[in-house]
Amino acid sequence: MSTTETIPVIDLGPYLAGQPGAMEAAAAELRFALTEIGFYFIVNHGVPPAQVRDAFQQAARFHSQPIERKMEIRIDRHNVGYLPLRGDTLRTSTVQTVTRANFNEALFIARDLPADHPEARVDRRFRGVNQWPANLPGFRESIAGYCDTMERLVLKLVPLYARALGLPATYFDGPFRDCQYKLRMTHYPHQDAPAVDDEFGIAPHTDTSFLTLLAPNEVPGLSIRTQSGKWIDAPALPNAYVVNGGQFLQRWTNDVFLATPHRAINRSGGERYALAFFCDSNIDWPVAAVPTTVGPDKPPKYPTTSYTDYMVQYQKRTYDLLADVNRDAAE
């Protein structure tokens, strides 16, 4: 298999240890990954394996509840809460015409803002309070702690993105202060070979995020589409996070970095859980192509946008249940 059809592995250990030259070396590897494949693994990232195991256990704990209990915190206009089985259809996919809803259920968690936070008090879109499940002691503390760990990891990664783009290492410090993030805790029931071509655990799509961190998973199911059009299965590497870019990364980099299509089908014979941490810049930051990706012969391909404007339109087309949520709010 060629290097452009193999997901590369980046060892963060030397960089995180501050070894001379390690930042530039890791940034060069990252640039190759994001211009040629759009996915990469990271190892020696500093996330304790016990914390990852606990987060997976909490996901299984939540999804094992009766549907009536989970629907008490159904997804809201801020995209936090429970999305039931077949609750979203990826009509926004540019890879495949998708007509069937995804065969998964998920719980979405955002930054855990207090109820008296100024933005929460005025119900600002995507800055509301989380919906936490009742009667699951310790769940909130565990998952909020995991999100804190993921945010710290993102803040260690973004200097590499800056250097990979020929920018100062601190370039993204401002945009990622109080960054936007969502943790999607997904349950994929076992699925036999699809009876039709467009039935998936999650259909072929690209993420919206600047970057996505997918937790190390012992149960395979993820596939990515290389630039040649070939679908390859992502191996399950012990203690390795899978990282990829999305539509916001494309906008930041004027399409220099890829948003690679991917999909998931659980044919493991058992249950599959996934922990995807989607991260973007601060909600108020104007997202536009960075200076090193534009020029006289390379005009910006996308208009400057905001997180809110972009995500409102995306979610209207994707989350079927939000139509009911918005209708209830109007009533």
* 131-153 pLDDT tens trace: 999 999 999 999 999 999 999 99
Q: Among residues 200, 195, 208, 185, which one has the least CA distance to residue 263? A: 200
The better pLDDT of the pair 277, 85 is held by 277
Please report, for the domain that includes residue 310, its CATH number. 2.60.120.330
Mean pLDDT of the 76-102 span = 77
Which pLDDT score, from 0 to 100, does residue 328 have?
Answer: 44
Mean pLDDT of the 147-164 span = 98
Check: pTM over 0.75? Answer yes or no: yes
Total domains present in the chain: 1
Which pLDDT score, from 0 to 100, does residue 198 have?
Answer: 65
330 pLDDT more than 50: no
Please tell me whether residue 327 adopts helix, strand or coil conformation: helix
Please tell me whether residue 201 adopts helix, strand or coil conformation: coil
Name the band, by pLDDT with cuts 50, 70 and 90, for residue 323.
low
pLDDT in tens, 103-118: 899 999 999 999 999 9
Percentage of the chain modeled with pLDDT above 70: 90
Q: Residue 160 belongs to what domain range?
A: 3-330
Beta strands in the chain (DSSP E): 9-11, 39-43, 81-83, 105-110, 179-188, 202-205, 211-214, 222-225, 231-233, 241-244, 262-264, 272-282
* Angle between helical axes of 22-36 and 139-164 (0-180°, round to 10): 90
Query: Cα(first)–Cα(last) distance of the chain, in Å?
Result: 56
